Each structure stands twice: as C-alpha cells, then as structure tokens.
Amino acid sequence: MKTDEDCIFCKIVAEEIPCFKLYEDEDTLSFMDINPANEGHALVISKEHWRNVHVIPDELISAVSVTAKKIASALETRFSPDGINLVQCNGEGAAQSVQHFHMHVLPRKSGDELKLNWGLAAGDMDRIQEQAAKIASTLQSTG
C-alpha cells in the first residue's frame, strides 16, 4: 500500500494517531473531523496515500465516493440536516490542508452561513466522540 510517513492521514490509517472512526473497508476509512465546520462533519479518505484528485486511481476515487454516500446517509438519518455537502479540495488555493485525497461530508442547516473555505477551529472532543458513536451506530444498523 502506498503511504507517506509524514502524512497525518497515513498515520491515522496505520493507527499511529487515534481518530473517531465511523467506517472502514478495504480501501477507505471514515472518521470525524476534529476541526468541524458544522456538527457531524466527517471525512472519508483513501487508505492509500494519493495527494489529490489528479493522481488517485479511478477505482479508489470511486471507493471514496461510495463510502461518502454511506456516511451522508448515516448523517441524514441521525441528524436530519437541511442538506449535506460533499466537498473535495485540491491544492492550497482550494484550502486542501492535508495533502492526502479526502472528501468532507458536511451536514448543513439553512442559514448556517458556512463558507466553502471555513477555516479551522478546534472542536469539543467529547461532543465529537458522542457524534461519532451515534453515526457509527447508524452505519452498523443500516449496513
């Protein structure tokens, strides 16, 4: 498997750094964003290290998309948001903060005024853990 020893997401895949895991399969991993733009903000990554959309193999971008759909469905069931954004950023100008292909799954509320480049603000770890447990439970019950 292609990895980068300096990549925080590769370290999460290798279980060198903990995460609030939501879902995992052979090719992908989903976990809570610890700098959430909104409550329930989750990430989906390829387990292999690919810098961006331009280099990731088609089968892996497909796998990430399928997992993102599962996570979006779990968020819809658990939080009943007004909408959900699937956001995938590439490069500094698009605010890609980790150079490892990933997709944001963002629950939205009408009027939340969330901007695309939302910045980083540390979240409440206990609250994120609670949300992770609820979403993971939803994923387990819906398959």
* Structure confidence at residue 78 (pLDDT): 94
Mean of all residue pLDDT scores within the chain: 94
**47 exposed, middle or buried (CB, 10 Å; 0-12, 13-18, 19+)?**
buried
Q: How confident is the model at residue 106 (pLDDT cuts 50, 70, 90)?
A: very high
Structural domains of the chain in order of their starting residue, each with its CATH number: 8-136 (3.30.428.10)
Percent of the chain with pLDDT over 90: 85
**Does residue 41 carry a pLDDT above 80?**
yes
**Does residue 1 carry a pLDDT above 80?**
yes
**Does residue 117 carry a pLDDT above 70?**
no
Q: In whole angstroms, what is the distance from residue 4 CA to residue 11 CA?
A: 8
For residue 18, the 8-state DSSP code is: -
Q: Indicate which residues carry an active-site annotation.
A: 102
CB 119 within 8 A of CB 38: no
* Structure confidence at residue 143 (pLDDT): 63
Span 57-98, pLDDT tens digits: 999 999 999 999 999 999 999 999 999 999 999 998 888 999
CB 36 within 8 A of CB 87: no
